[in-house]
A and B are shown apart, each in its own frame.
Chain A
Amino acid sequence: MIFSLLDVLALLPELILVAVACILLVLDPLIKKCSGLAGVISVVTIIAAAIATYCIASGDLAGGSFFADMHKIDLYSVFFKMIFYVATVLVMLMSFQYVKTKDINMSEYYILMLFSLTGMMILASAVDLLTIYVGLELMSIPVYVLAGFKQSSRKSNEGAMKYIILGAFSSGILLYGISFIYGLTGTTDLAGIAVALKDPVTSVPALSIAIVMLVAGFAFKIAGVPFHMWAPDAYEGAPTPITAFMSVGVKAASFAVMVRVFMVGLEPLYDQWVIILIVISVLSMGYGNLVAISQKSIKRMLAYSSIAHAGYALLGLIAGTAEGVSSVLFYMAVYAVMNIGAFAIIILLSVNGRIDQLDSYRGLGKTNKLVALLMMILLFSLAGIPPMAGFMGKFYVFKALLSQGMVPLAIFAVLMSSVAAYFYIRVIMVMYMKEPDGEFKMFKPACLYFVILLTVVVTIWHGVYPTLLIDLARLASSII
C-alpha cells in the first residue's frame, strides 16, 4: 500500500495543530516573557486549521477515505470538527484573563489543549476501532493533566486523580470490548464489522459482553450515569475554562465517535445496544437533574446538569434513525455554545473575586444588570425554555424519539427537563430577587465579554431560526 500526497493533505488540519504545538513547546522559553502570546498563536492556529478543514471539505477530497480507510472526510466529521474549533477557540479566549489571575499562566496550558483538540478531530474522522482508541487517548490524556493544572489547589488535584484513574480503568474496559469485537468479526474497520455482524454465524452471546464494554467505555467519556462518578469532582476542581472544555469538547467528541460506532459498526445489533443506552439515558437524566437541585456550587450544579444533558443527547442515538442522529448533532452544537457561555460568566465573576457559590450571585441583577441578563438567557436556554436554542435542541431530540414511537421515554425526558428548570431558575431567582451583599467593582476583560455576547447571540439566533443549523445537521447525518 503506497500513500500519496493526498493522504497527507487530508490530514492537513491535524498536522497544522500538531506542528504548531511542537513549535510552541520548543519556543516556550523565548516567548515566556510576553505572556499570553502562546494563547494568541494557538487561537490563530485553530482558525487556520478551520480554514484548511473547510477547503478540504469543499474540495475534491470530500467523501474520501484516507490512510488505508482509517480516516474519513465527510460532512459528519466536518460538522463535529467545526464544533470542536469553535469550542476550543472560545475556551482559549476566556482563558486569557483567567490564567493570569489564578497563576497558571503557562504555554503548556494552550499546547495541551491543542493536542487534545487534535485527538478530538481524529475521533470525528475515525472509522476504525484502532484509530478511535488512539484518538480517544490523545484527547483524554491532555485533559487529565489540564484538570489538575491548579497545582496548589487540593480540589483540582483530587479531581484530576479521580479522573485519570477512572479514565484509565474505563479505557481498559473499552479496549477489552474492542478486542472482543475484533476477535468475533476479524476486523476493526466499522464498515467491515457491520458486514460481519449481518452474518448470523457471528451472533454469539459474547457480542453482548462486547457491547456492554463498549457502552461502558464511551459512557464514561460522556459522563453518563452510572459512569459519572468522576465528573462532579473533576469539573469542580478543574480550572473553570477547562471545565467548559471537558463538558463541551470531550463530550461532543465522544458523542461523535459513539454515534459512528453504534450507527455504522454495530447497526445490525441495534436491538441489543438500544436497551443499555436507554438505561444509561434514563439514569443520567434522572440522577443528573435531581442531584443538581441540592448543589450549592454553580460549577457543581453545571456538572450535574451536563450529566443530564448527556442523557438527553443519548435519546437521539436511541431513536436510531437519521433524524435522531441529526438531532444529536444539533443538540451538541447548541449545547456547546450555551454551556461555554454559562461558564464564561462564571469566569467573569470569579475574575472579579466572586466564588462560584450560589450565594455569591445574590443581587447580581441589581449591581450588574447586563451580566445578570446574559446569564439569565443562557440559563433559560440550558433549561430548554423557548425561544432559546436549548429548547430547539430538546425539541428535535424528542421529535426523533416520538417518530419512533418511544412515547414513555419522551414523557420521562420532558418531566425531567421540568425538574431541571427548577435549579436553573433558582439561580435567576437568587440574582434578581435577593438583595446584593455589597458593591462589586467589575473590570471588564474584552475577550470574556466577546465570548459571552457571541454565545448569547448564537443561542437566541438558533432558538428563533434553527433552520440553518438543523439543515446542516441533516446533511451531515445523511451519510450515517
Chain B
Amino acid sequence: MILERLFFILFAVVAIAAAGGVVCFKNPVHSAFSLIVCLLQVAAIFVLLRSPFLAVVQIFIYVGAVMVLFLFVVLVLDIKKASLETFPGLKRWPVYVILPVMAIEFLIVIFGKSFAHMQMAEAGAETTVEVIGLALFTHYLLPFEIISVLLLAAMVGAIIMAKKRWN
C-alpha cells in the first residue's frame, strides 16, 4: 500500500506540474506536449484505481486522437507569432486574488472533515470491458443512446459552422 501511495504522489505531482506547464509555456508546441504528459499521468492514476479499461481509453482518445488534433492546429498556427502574443490588456489582479482564495477554500473543505467514515461510491469493483459493456447496454442504455444522437447533432453543427456559405 505504501508503494501504491508513493506512486500516486509521483503521478499526481507530475500531472499537476505538467498542467501548470500547459498554461505557462509560451510556445504552443511545448504546451501541447506538456498536456500529453499530464494526460498520461492521469491514465496512470486510473491504473492505480484498478481501472485498466479507463486508462487505455484515456490514452487512446486523449493522448492519441485529441492531442493529434491539437498538434495539427498548432501546426497550422504561426508559432513565432502565437508565442509572442500576450492577452490583450486585461487586468490580472483579480485572478491572483480569486485563485488562492478558491484553492484554500477547496483544501479546507476537502481536508476539513474526513471522508474515511463515509460510504463512498464503489471504486474498482469490477472494471473489465465486459462489465462496462454490460452496464452501458443495460442500466445506462438511455444516456448511451442519447450520446449517439448528441454526436450526430454536434457533427452536423460542426459541418454547418465550417462550411463557407456566403461570398
- Shortest B143–chain A CB gap in Å is 5
A145 contact set on B, CB distance < 8 A:
156-158, 160-161
- Give the shortest distance, in Å, between A448 (CB) and chain B (any CB): 24
A75 to chain B, nearest CB (A): 21
Instruction: Considering the complex, give the chain B residue whose CB is closest to the CB of A153.
Output: B166
Judge if B121 is at the interface, Cβ distance under 8 Å: yes
Interface residues of B in 123-167 (CB under 8 A from A): 138-143, 146-147, 149-150, 152-154, 156-158, 160-161, 164-166
Kindly specify which of A133-141, A311-319, A374-382 makes contact with the partner chain.
Answer: A133-141
The residue in chain A whose Cβ has the minimal distance to the Cβ of B140 is A130
What is the predominant secondary structure among interface residues of chain A facing chain B?
helix
Task: Tell whether, in the assembled complex, residue B109 and residue A130 are in contact, meaning their CB atoms are under 8 Å apart.
Answer: no
Nearest Cβ on chain A to B110's Cβ, whole angstroms:
6
Find A186's partner among B108, B120, B150, B160 (CB 8 Å cutoff).
B120
Does B122 make an interface contact (CB < 8 A)? yes
B113 CB–A CB distance under 8 Å: yes
Q: Known contacts A186-B122, A205-B109; is A152 also within 8 Å of B150 by CB? A: no
Which parts of A20-78 form the interface with B (CB within 8 Å)? 22, 25, 66-68, 70-71
Query: Which residues from B are CB-within-8-Å of A356?
Result: none
Report yes or no: B109 in contact with A209, Cβ–Cβ below 8 A. Answer: yes
Q: A68-B139, A68-B141 are in contact. Are A115 and B109 (CB under 8 A)?
A: no
Number of interface residues, chain B, beta carbon within 8 A: 34
Complex contacts, B149 vs chain A, CB 8 Å: 18, 115, 118, 138
Q: What string of 1s and 0s marks CB contacts (under 8 Å) between B20-33 and chain A?
A: 00000000000000
Residue of A108, A131, A208 near B160 (CB, 8 A) is: A108
Query: From residue B162, how far is it (CB to closest CB) to chain A in Å?
Result: 10
Asked if B118 is at the interface of the complex by the 8 Å CB criterion, the answer is: yes
A3 to B139, CA, bound (A): 10
Contact B110 A22 (CB under 8 A): no
A242 to chain B, nearest CB (A): 13
B98 CB to closest chain A CB, in angstroms? 13
Query: Once the chains bind, are A202 and B153 in contact (CB under 8 Å)?
Result: no
Interface residues on A, range: 35 or more
Which of B112, B118, B121, B160 lies in contact with A149, CB distance below 8 A? B160
Q: Which of A66, A135, A183 contacts B146 (CB under 8 A)?
A: A135
A108 adjacent to B156 (CB under 8 Å): yes
B106 contacts chain A at the CB level, 8 A cutoff: yes
Question: Closest A-chain residue to B156, C-beta based?
Answer: A108
- Does A112 make an interface contact (CB < 8 A)? yes
CB atoms of A208 and B157 under 8 A apart? no
How does the 8 Å CB contact mask read for A137-178 relative to B, with 1 for contact and 0 for none?
110011011001101100000000000000000000000000
| 8 A Cβ contacts from A209-261 to B | 209
- Measured CA separation A317–B2 after assembly (Å): 49
In the complex, A111 has a CB within 8 A of chain B: yes
Is B141 a contact of A67 with CB atoms below 8 Å?
yes
Docked-complex contact A1 and B138, CB < 8 angstroms = yes
B118: A residues at CB distance < 8 A: 184, 201-202, 204
Q: Does A103 contact B (CB under 8 A)?
A: yes
Closest chain A CB from B38 CB (angstroms): 16
Q: How far is the CB of A250 from chain B (nearest CB, A)?
A: 14
A209 to B158, CA, bound (A): 34
B residues near A22, Cβ cutoff 8 Å: 152
State the Cβ distance, B80 to closest chain A Cβ, in Å: 25
For the complex, give the distance between the alpha carbons of A142 and B139 in Å: 27
A449 within 8 A of B: no
A148 in contact with B146 (CB, 8 Å): no
CA distance A128 to B143 in the complex (A): 10
Q: Which residues of A contact B5 (CB under 8 A)?
A: none
Task: Name 8 interchain pairs, CB-CB below 8 A, sorted by A.
Answer: A3-B141, A25-B156, A66-B142, A108-B160, A128-B143, A138-B146, A149-B160, A201-B118
**Given A3-B141, A145-B156, 6 more pairs with CB closer than 8 A:** A66-B142, A68-B141, A119-B150, A141-B154, A151-B166, A208-B109
The 5 closest A-B pairs by CB, nearest first: A145-B157, A67-B142, A115-B153, A205-B109, A186-B121
B interface with A by C-beta (< 8 Å): 106, 108-110, 112-113, 115, 117-122, 138-143, 146-147, 149-150, 152-154, 156-158, 160-161, 164-166
